[in-house]
Amino acid sequence: MIEKYQRLFQLDVYHSYFQKSICRCLEFNADSATEQLMKRFRLLIKRQVNGIGLYGNTTQPLQELLTYIKQVTGQDAFCFEIRTNNPDFNFFTELPPDWVGQLLYDSSNTTVDDQNVQLNQQLSGNPGTNCLGKVTLRFADILEFNKDMGTAGFEIKFMARATQWQYFIINRNALPLDNLAISGKEPVVFEGPENVVMETGQNALLFSSGSKLIPLSEVPIHKFDLINCPASTDNKLVQPQIIIKGLPTPIPEWIGKVTDNAAQQLSSPMYVYL
């Protein structure tokens, strides 16, 4: 049935936290005013994995349709509320640590790249309703980008939060370990180990990525091993011993704070028991 409709615009969402950046955790629902427009003028939302398209059941040229809607209703934009089905969205998304509010996107504030029109993010300090944010797509902008590109295609892009990775090694069995280290194919050199006392009173060895912040990922990309490097004997090199192959990766909701060179950063603490 959708083939009989004319597409007014397309909105796609990408997030580097997910595989291939396909963001499946956001929903876009028309606000009350836009919902009334859709009913009155027989507009239809087609939902996709990472976005929506808005279609009209009309043979009118798009400019005539939107001009008519504005004349008879006084409205000059389609507005959609953003909701998420993932409670960890604010944890794994690069947002200010202590920010509470809404994400605002407006087609009057964009960055145009090749054939893509990226909606720039604005942070509102007002939490407002229980939705995550709001998208406003103005008729004038839809017409402008339809003229330039055939069909207006808008994009929203999110970046995965990057944190300082911390591994706390707790040697409960008093294993004889000469020289612990963390290795991996990644170009990340972990600082440590440093002897620390955790809040539980347990002693631990702390490795951290220091000033190198590593992005979080739904599917692990960065893989590290815990190895032991015994001292060489008789000038013979001793091969490192793998203690744990494949250390854990961060859980988004486990976020801490740490100060590095007077700058406050977010950290991802992980606990490894031997």
Distance, in Å, from the CA atom of 117 to the CA atom of 10, rounded to the nearest integer, reads 10
Q: What are phi and psi of 215, to 5 degrees?
A: -65, 145
pLDDT at 100: 85
The whole-number pLDDT of residue 234 equals 65
Q: Report yes or no: 4 and 46 within 8 Å, Cβ to Cβ.
A: no
**Residue 105 has which token pair?**
């996107």
The pLDDT tens digits of the residues spanning 51-92 come to 999 999 888 889 999 999 999 999 999 999 999 999 999 999
Residue-level pLDDT at 129: 65
Q: Give the residues of the chain that fall short of pLDDT 70.
A: 1-3, 127-129, 148-150, 186, 232-235, 260-262
Contact 59, 4 (CB under 8 A): no
Q: What pLDDT is recorded for position 74?
A: 96
pLDDT of residue 2: 54
Give pTM, 2 decimals. Answer: 0.89
pLDDT of residue 90: 92
Beta strands in 173-262 (DSSP E): 180-184, 191-197, 203-208, 214-215, 224-228, 241-244, 256-260
Which residues in 114-235 belong to E strands, given as ranges? 116-124, 133-138, 152-158, 162-170, 180-184, 191-197, 203-208, 214-215, 224-228
Give the whole-angstrom CA distance, residue 262 versus residue 148. Answer: 48
Give bridge partners of residue 7 from the DSSP assignment.
Answer: 55
Terminal-residue alpha carbon distance, the chain: 60
- Domain positions in the chain are 2-158, 162-273
**Which residue, 132, 50, 95, 119, is CA-closest to 252?**
95
What is the reported pLDDT for 200? 86
Minimal CA–CA distance to 178: which of 225, 233, 223? Answer: 233
What is the average pLDDT score of the chain? 89
